[in-house]
Structure 1
Amino acid sequence: MAKSSKKAARRRSFNRISYKERVIIENRYCIDRKRISEIAKELGRPLSSIIREIRGKPRIGRGRYSADVAQAKAEKNRDNQGRKTKFDHEPLCLYVLKKLKLGWSPEQIAIRLPIEYPEDERMRISHEAVYQYVYDQIYREGNGQVKPGREDLRKYLARRHKRRQKKGFRKAQKAERDLSLPSIESRPREADERVVVGHWEGDTVVSKQSDHRIKSVNERVSGVVFFGKTPDGSAKECDKVTIARLIKTYRLNTERL
């Protein structure tokens, strides 16, 4: 407990090196040629702080330590601190909101901006920044309520997740799915070359206005397509629709034979 309280007190008492201290460092280091440990002791600073401040600069000649240069750099770094957002640029913010509500994905927005605004460097944003902005409108990264004066933009995303999934989560999902479902990479050669009838390919059509999905099943050689409506996109419901359509088609054809 005593050690932890000392560490906490040391963290609370931390303050940045001032311009006055930098002048002293320059005089002692460059003119008086004192050792760094002596300078640290005189200023009452940790040795590591003075080492970081000097950063191996020479005592004389080009590139030597300068209090004025060090202070200007420190002030610049201080101004650049904190979380920055490109959405402070109103035209960019309006563009992103408009395209999201039209159904564009963050990836499409990021790709399209340099094409539509080739000369305006402020009209640039990454898809990751768009996702962060969408979930930043909600407390607790999507787990809470909409912040006052903000808009819930999650409904405009294709997957419409309530909360942001952690990095690597979808890769883990894919690995788990590959264990239970056959991968498209492992399908037989005759299916890829479309020389044998009987290989089917499925897909699901999603709507933003409804939770219902349209399940499509396409025979790769003949081009025959079956459609069916499912209450959701689960594998169980999609399989049920696919089997029902195939059985119905089989019965109709056998009756004609």
Structure 2
Amino acid sequence: MILLSTRSVAKPWGRTDLPQIFGGSVAKAIGEVWFEPPSEFDALLIKYIFTSEKLSVQCHPSSDQTLAMGLGKQGKDECWLVLDAQPGAQLAIGFEREIDDEAMRAAMQDGSIERLLSWYPVSAGDFFYIPANTVHAIGAGITLVEVQQNSDITYRLYDYGRPRALHFEEGAAVALRKPYPAHHHQRLTATGSAQLVDGPHFRLDRLDGAPDPAVATRYAGSLLVVPLDCHLSLAGSTIAPGQCALADGLAAITFPATGLSLIAQPV
């Protein structure tokens, strides 16, 4: 068992009122808490995200595209599980309708791109799978868990005037200019297990208590486990909410009778 170290990342859109599992009130606005992946299991990155403002409108290349561009890194499929959201909180994913390359380039330049996106009202339990190339933005007032291919390649298309680099050419070259497929969105109940992602790059399940035999069959070998509202036992240690551990397999973890946790594994 390896308990992953955490890294708090300051962001201009972050918050000083973090969940108690991450310290509660803090002096500097923190936008993300990363669980640092060990070198032997670094294909995935899991993080918590906390927002007080909208994040940039952005997209990421696929692994095929990063290979073709000679970047030497994998692309970035990702997904979001909303844990908490203020009234009116929204996520933007994909476009309201298909647009052409010229219209998208003009919208990036004048900032109107955010008005062309589909904005989804969200609350705790909303889950979205975000394939590479999907144009997206996280809105204000949201706490979520993100599971992603471990890649730092982000093309910002619009950033609300913040003094950060934008990537018009790179983004236009890889961005999908279409609506977001509805089947990538799930609305989870407050309790119960759910299969969230089954490839192509990783698998992810939310468990309520111990996994059933079908889940155990799919998760052979090492995996990451994140307790959300319960405590797990692993190699004689307790893993609490706000922590993430690398386990040799599901059989190494003792789950409570009820309680939510996430398990994730590269494909």
> Scaled by the length of structure 1, what TM-score is found?
0.23
**Which structure has more RCO (C-alpha within 8 Å, separation ≥ 6)?**
2
Which protein is richer in strand relative to its size? 2
Which one has a bigger Cα radius of gyration?
A: 1
Which protein is richer in helix relative to its size? 1
